[in-house]
Amino acid sequence: MATPPPRRRLLGTSLKMYFDLPTTQSYITSLIPLSDPAQKAGIDLFVIPSFPSLIPSATLLSSTPIRLGAQDCSPFPSGAYTGDVSPLVLHQAGASLVVLGHAERRQHHGETSTLVAAKAAAAVAHGLVPLICVGETQAPSHIASAAVGSAVAECKAQLAPVLQSLPDDAEIVVAYEPVWAIGAERPAGADHVVAVTRELRRLTGARTGLVRILYGGSAGPGTFEAIKEGVDGLFLGRFAHDIKNLEQVIREMSE
């Protein structure tokens, strides 16, 4: 059996609700020149703006390989679901991936893993790649093995329903984002991240579709180098909202 090609690295950021429309378009325009060096280094870039920014962003990115994502989607393709955003419409608007299960959605909107699984199934059915966020809520204890085991158990409980809802050949992205590390001064420890993401790799190992695993949670300079044994890339937060910082991470991931 032929050896499959290595997974390309994946790097991107969500703009959350920080940018207005003009600022988003300025950011997207500044992002475009980074596409060529990233591609040459084997890195796929993605950016996830707010819903109203999707169509103008898709226009700006139309001649680039940069992937455009959405911050959420409905589990329903259409119907009387006021306030929901259809995965079908997101795909038509130019999105190719969608973030699901983010800790902020779970915390502020009460989203469950069952709902995330339904959204993921709807996303795949309408041509979107689900980027599934998982992560434990409590910071590691002083006993490393216990902390890893607890984190893995919590992540598996979040991810397993999603995997069960999707065809084996569907492409997915799993973002390991420890809730306690989001917005913190520093990312989770490298040994902890590698140990947890290796277990997530085992959990998804039987799938035939492409699976890439990212780390998010106060990631910044030096993060990828420290954890690259366990991940395929990074899901960056506000650090990457400064385009110069994103450029720095691309250089580090290219080495």
Residue 140: how many CB atoms within 10 A of its CB?
A: 19
CA–CA separation, 90 and 150 (whole Å): 35
- Residue 68 φ/ψ, nearest 5 degrees: -105, 130
Are 207 and 177 in contact by the 8 Å Cβ rule? The answer is: no
The conformation of residue 127, written as its DSSP 8-state character, comes to T
The conformation of residue 83, written as its DSSP 8-state character, comes to T
Residue type, 179: V
Would you call 196 helix, strand, or coil by DSSP? helix
Place of tokens 């455009």: 68
Residue 134, beta-bridge partner list: 176
Catalytic annotation, pick one of 111, 154, 177, 199: 177
Catalytic annotation, pick one of 102, 126, 192, 199: 102
Would you call 68 helix, strand, or coil by DSSP? strand
The conformation of residue 11, written as its DSSP 8-state character, comes to E
Strands (E), 77-146: 97-100, 129-134
Active site annotation includes 102: yes
CA–CA separation, 99 and 130 (whole Å): 6
Active site annotation includes 225: no
Are 146 and 185 in contact by the 8 Å Cβ rule? The answer is: no
* Catalytic sites, residue numbers: 102, 177
